[in-house]
Amino acid sequence: MSLQNFDVAGKRVFLRCDLNVPLKNGEITDDGRIRASLPTIKTLIANGASIVIAAHLGRPKGEAKPELSLAPVAKRLSELLGAPVQFAGAVTGSDVTSKAAALKAGEILLLENIRFSAAETSKDEAERQVLAKELAALADAYVGDGFGAVHRKHASVFDLPKLLPHVAGTLVAAEVEVLKKLTQNPERPYGVVLGGAKVSDKIGVISNLLGKVDVMAIGGGMVFTFLAAQGKEIGTSLVETDLIETVKGLIKQAADSGVKLVLPTDILVAPAFAFDAPATLVSADAIPADQMGLDIGPDSAAAFATAIRSCKTLFWNGPMGVFEFPAFASGTKVVAQALTEVSGISVVGGGDSAAAVRALGFADSAFGYISTGGGASLEYLEGKELPGLTALGL
């Protein structure tokens, strides 16, 4: 069943969104995830529902941390909708219950950060179910639209939908449709560009995709473990030494699978991780011992762009360098530009990648699709079963 066909007229809907936006000094720096939730919210309102929204922000680990309050999100959501959004200030309790019960058709109540409740992320199923039952009592139906959390077995994502009539929201349905295009007979050549800080976050997806893609390009902080695995000097660059042998195996797997593995040939280095650090261009074979790599160099960026443009299907997750520092943003910008020129489908895989393309001035519409969930997208591509999708029958 689709959201459009889900009967919500006169009902209270519990809507799980992903509103995990980046904040700086209490201000939202990228509202992309809030905007991505609007189609589902507007559909529910148009179909006569009142809405109780739950979402998380950061990792408060069961503690109420003021800096991770969803209050700024309530304000921004209200601005985007052009309608008031009530803010509960708590996850459960008598005040939440009374505010939810008083909602009229078209009205919205946003709960405080769901992860302020330790039961939300508990490994103990009984604890999660206690919270799920409290949340279920607030509504008549459930809509799951928090794609960025569907890989988590959390109370509001996994346990709650089992207690109410449920359906996937517009965003989750769209994300799954796009990911199916990447996993079920993708148009070839099929390429993947991976960046970000750590190889450990992406070992599973790299290994799984090496048997399925034609081209794989590696940048970001994780590339230095690859360079170290090739026996190259990486200076003071980020490295996961315990994974060097694993990465050697991945490099061999790529060769054995006939996958074109694209690694940087030049690197922008600096003496320290600092906004105003001076950038020096060096060969990937000659990183000075007292310097750290903070971006791929121009030759590498050009090679990555050429590889990207040759593909009909392209998935990108993770920036190529420290794009927040202007001197080390060019690699990510060149890769992003190349993605806009892919003739088939290009998917920007959530998280830092989505924030990066917006920060660098690209419009969302320039890409085939911008995912809201980096970790969830990666686990889907890794072939894992995602609890939140299972709970929704997807």
Q: Which residues line the annotated binding site for substrate?
A: 18-20, 33, 56-59, 115, 152
Of the residues 65, 75, 153, 198, which is catalytic? 198
Residue 46: C-alpha distances to residues 78, 207, 267 (Å): 16, 44, 52
Helix (H) or strand (E) holding 52: strand 50-54
Active site residue 191: no
Of the residues 33, 76, 99, 358, which is catalytic? 33
What size, in residues, is the chain?
A: 394
Of the residues 148, 221, 297, 375, which is catalytic? 375
Buried b (16+ CB within 10 A) or exposed e, 312-324: bbbbbbbbbbbbe
Active site residue 252: no
Helix (H) or strand (E) holding 168: strand 166-168
Active site residue 351: yes
Of the residues 235, 321, 331, 351, which is catalytic? 351
Nearest to 174 by CA among 145, 154, 194: 145
CA angle 272, 273, 279 (to 5 degrees): 70
Classify burial at 171, counting beta carbons within 10 Å of its beta carbon; exposed 0-12, middle 13-18, buried 19 or more. Answer: buried
Per the annotation, where are the binding residues for ATP?
Answer: 202, 293, 324, 350-353
Backbone angles phi, psi at 51, to 5 degrees: -130, 130
Amino acid at position 394, single letter: L
Per the annotation, where are the binding residues?
Answer: 18-20, 33, 56-59, 115, 152, 202, 293, 324, 350-353
Contacts of 260 (CB under 8 A, 6+ apart): 214, 215, 216, 307
Per the annotation, where are the binding residues for (2R)-3-phosphoglycerate?
Answer: 33, 115, 152
Residue 2: both structure tokens together:
């689709």
Residue 126: both structure tokens together:
């009984």
Which positions are annotated as active-site residues?
33, 198, 351, 375
